[in-house]
Amino acid sequence: MALPSAHEALIHLMVITSASDRDMTDVELARIGVVVKTWPIFEDFNEKRLISIAQDCQELLHAEAGLEGVLELARRAIPDRLHETAYAAAFEVASVDLEMRMEELRVLQLLRKHLNVDPLTIAAIERATKARHRTLT
């Protein structure tokens, strides 16, 4: 398998998090789009490639290496200094519908392991993301 670009790997992580429960909701798909359009890490990324990269990720998931292979490629493609950002992007997608299923939690657990993000940073990312998604009603 060829090593994806850092942008592609970040998108792969968001896609596998969303697809982990076999139900990529419209809200989650829209959030992936919002992350790609608004986060500074994607400022030089061509948004028109998003769908094809998501499709590439699905093909990788069905390859022999499967989920572990996608995670390993992402770990290698994303610079260490951006592993926290990668986890934040995946958690953003998982938490947008305010409901996390066991499958999503398991993928996030695997992400934490592969990206080697420390527990305090994980707690901060998760707390800030949850706070940002709360509503008055």
Q: What CATH topology corresponds to 6-133?
A: TerB-like (1.10.3680)
What residue spans define the domains of the chain?
6-133
C-beta pairs of 54-58 under 8 Å, 24+ apart in sequence: 54/11, 54/15, 56/4, 56/8, 56/12, 57/11, 57/12, 57/15, 57/16, 58/15, 58/19
Are 90 and 13 contacting, i.e. CB atoms less than 8 angstroms apart?
yes
The dihedral sign for the CA sequence 22, 2, 30, 119 = positive
pLDDT in tens, 61-104: 888 888 999 999 999 999 999 999 999 999 999 988 777 788 88
Assign 130 to helix, strand or coil: helix
Are 106 and 20 contacting, i.e. CB atoms less than 8 angstroms apart?
yes
pLDDT band at 24 (very low <50, low <70, confident <90, very high): confident
pLDDT in tens, 103-129: 889 999 999 999 999 999 999 999 999
